[in-house]
Amino acid sequence: MNAQASSMLSRSGKKQVSWAPSSGAAGYQRAKRQRSFSCTRANATGGPGESQHPAALQRREALNLGLFTASAAYLRTCLDTGNVALADDLALFWGAANPPATYGATARTTKEFARYSFNYPEDWTEVPVNKVEKGTNGTDCRLKGALRAKEQVYIVVLQRLGEDLKGYKTTDIEKSLSGIAVADANLQDALAQTDNKVFVQREVNGQTFFDLDVEGQTPFLITLTNDGAGRFYAMFISATPKGFSEKKALYKKMRDSFRTFVIV
């Protein structure tokens, strides 16, 4: 775009101003004659100041106008708040799905070694998972956002909990979710307060995800899936009711971004 702008300036020419101060009437007349503006136009076939056919000038001006219009449209696209990266400032977390005996360290890894990934706001920070969380329900990672809103997301990874979620019944999913909630008192309370749990099934590249929205004193957005290779994954996003109502769209984007990978 800078290159275009530079080119357009050269085509439109530069204004040159000459001013020669002097004293007396004769000097005033000379200064008056020298006080002039000149515009030059550069083109591809001739040097500055060459005369051009009026039709050619009209075509060139129309082309310049079109370039300016296209540049403005491109800028509006880049600044559009609908763009997730710009609007939400999301980063990508690559998760390792570390063995149960590992805890207290980061679950972050590189793309080639990742078993799952999801988007999250860049200002959220990872909090080390303790021994109880890791050993009781398989929590692999936890990230926290604003303290006032009590924002957090955590990923649970369990092995050999059903080979294919496509064959699961809703009661099976609910039973699995209840087992995972053992290590999270807030999640237990939220599930207990929700009488009608409606799991929404969706398919992403042939993989089945079950989504659940839990309302209450501590709202949750949840998704559960299986990677088809013996690992069961659950993602939990929670916040205060006020924070949840303000950023629910963001939390849903985070949930929808969750993916799993099989390393062979």
Tell me, what's the pLDDT at 5?
A: 42
* Burial (Cβ within 10 Å: 0-12, 13-18, ≥19) of residue 39: exposed
SS (H, E, C) 209-235: EEEEEECCCCCEEEEEEECCCCEEEEE
Q: What does pTM read for this prediction? A: 0.65
More confident residue, 53 or 209: 209
Residue 221 pLDDT level (bands cut at 50, 70, 90):
very high
Residue-wise pLDDT for 71-119, tens only, equals 333 333 333 333 333 345 799 999 999 888 888 889 999 999 999 999 9
Residue-wise pLDDT for 170-217, tens only, equals 567 888 888 888 778 889 888 888 877 889 999 999 899 999 999 888
Tell me, what's the pLDDT at 44?
A: 40
**Residue 117 DSSP one-character state:** E
Q: Which residues contact 236 (CB under 8 A, 6 or more apart)?
A: 153, 154, 155, 156, 184, 187, 220, 221, 222
Tell me, what's the pLDDT at 35?
A: 40
Q: Are 138 and 161 in contact (CB under 8 A)?
A: no
For the ranges 59-68, 149-158, 206-215, 252-261, the lowest mean pLDDT is seen at: 59-68
The pLDDT of 59-67, averaged and rounded, is 49
Q: How far is CA 14 from the centre of its chain?
A: 42
The overall average pLDDT reported for the chain is 73
Q: Are 103 and 134 in contact (CB under 8 A)?
A: yes
Residue-wise pLDDT for 228-247, tens only, equals 888 899 999 999 999 999 99
Rounded CA-CA distance 148/244 in Å is 12
Tell me, what's the pLDDT at 166?
A: 58
Tell me, what's the pLDDT at 19?
A: 37
Structure tokens at 223: 């998704």
% the chain with pLDDT above 90: 38
CA-nearest of 118, 120, 115, 117 to 96 is: 115
Structure tokens at 101: 């005996």
Tell me, what's the pLDDT at 147?
A: 94
